[in-house]
Structure 1
Amino acid sequence: MRQIDSKVRFLRKRLEALKIVNYSPQQEGKVFFGAWVEIENDAGDIKTLRIVGPDEIFGRNDYISIDSPMARALLKQTVDSEISVPTPTGPKTWTINHITY
């Protein structure tokens, strides 16, 4: 019961801090919060990811937190941009193929 009360308090505090982000036509063609981004590496591996808040990624393999290194590298980039993402095994390079909202 104590865990449930703790979780409810946490969620109530989070609700007060939530901010709804609406799409803006000025975002067209660039990666921002809420974007679906298709990326490809040199080996031809393709991933489609959506940039969301940290509370939204639970149970989803195609969502990444805005705070992640991948999302930070993608922000404000355009189609055909190459990004370098730091990983524990060294930087990885990805190319942006497609952006949608």
Structure 2
Amino acid sequence: MSSIPVTVRGAQMLRDELQRLKTKDRYEVIAAIAEARSHGDLSENAEYDAAKERQAFIEGRIAELEGKLSSAQIIDPTTLNTNGKIVFAATVSVEDLETGDRVTYQIVGNDEADLKEFKISITSPMARALIGREEGDVVEVNAPAGVREYEILEVMFI
């Protein structure tokens, strides 16, 4: 299995979710199954079926998180020395050359991407266009709305 890049913050988010699933959610669903069983006939017991489905989801998510964490390559952006090149975990300020809008994104893994927090996935069209480039470069991004041009204003490793 190949390694999955993840920031320090992203790895901690995964660990926190795993901890919650193992110590809280797992026991809550076990209690819900026991409660549903106490109601008698399991063949027509909707609460029991729902609790079993929830249990399957939780166990599957635990396995998924353990797999991701075991193959995670945790990257601390403050320790990177890339001579100004944009790489995973970099924070990049860009300007849309058509509208003049400026925005700052951090390039992160798929699990930690959140556009509301200006964290874009390494697999997004914007991140793919930025990787390997440097301050002052103009990049073309194939977005769903068409091709957009952005100038890279600043590259930070924070």
TM-score (normalizing by structure 2): 0.59
1:33-74 alpha-carbon deviations (Å, 9 max, x no partner): 111100001211011000011111157531011111110100
Paired residue for 2:75, among 11, 18, 21?
21
**Distance of 2:139 and 2:115 partners within structure 1:** 26
Count residues with an aligned counterpart.
100
TM-score (norm 1): 0.89
Aligned partner of 2:129 in structure 1 is 73
Partner residue, 1:30: 85
Is 1:9 the counterpart of 2:63? The answer is yes
Q: What one-letter code is carried by the residue in structure 1 that aligns with 2:87? A: F
Shift of 1:21: 2.5
CA RMSD of aligned residues (A): 1.5
Secondary structure at 2:64 match in 1:
helix
Structure 1 residues 9-46: Cα deviation after superposition (integer angstroms, max 9, x where no partner): 11111111101225332x13111111110000121101
Question: Larger Rg: 1 or 2?
Answer: 2
Pairs within 5 Å for 1:47-58: 47-58=103-114
**Percent identity (aligned):** 32
CA pair 7-60 structure 1, distance change in 2 beyond 3 A: farther
More helix by share: 2
Q: How does 1:34-45 map to 2 (within 5 A)?
A: 34-42=89-97, 43-45=99-101
Select the residue among 28, 40, 46 that pairs with 2:102.
46
Which whole-Å CA distance do the structure 1 matches of 2:126 and 2:57 have between them? 33
Higher relative CO (Cα under 8 Å, sequence separation at least 6) belongs to 1
Q: Unmatched 5+ residue regions in structure 1?
A: none
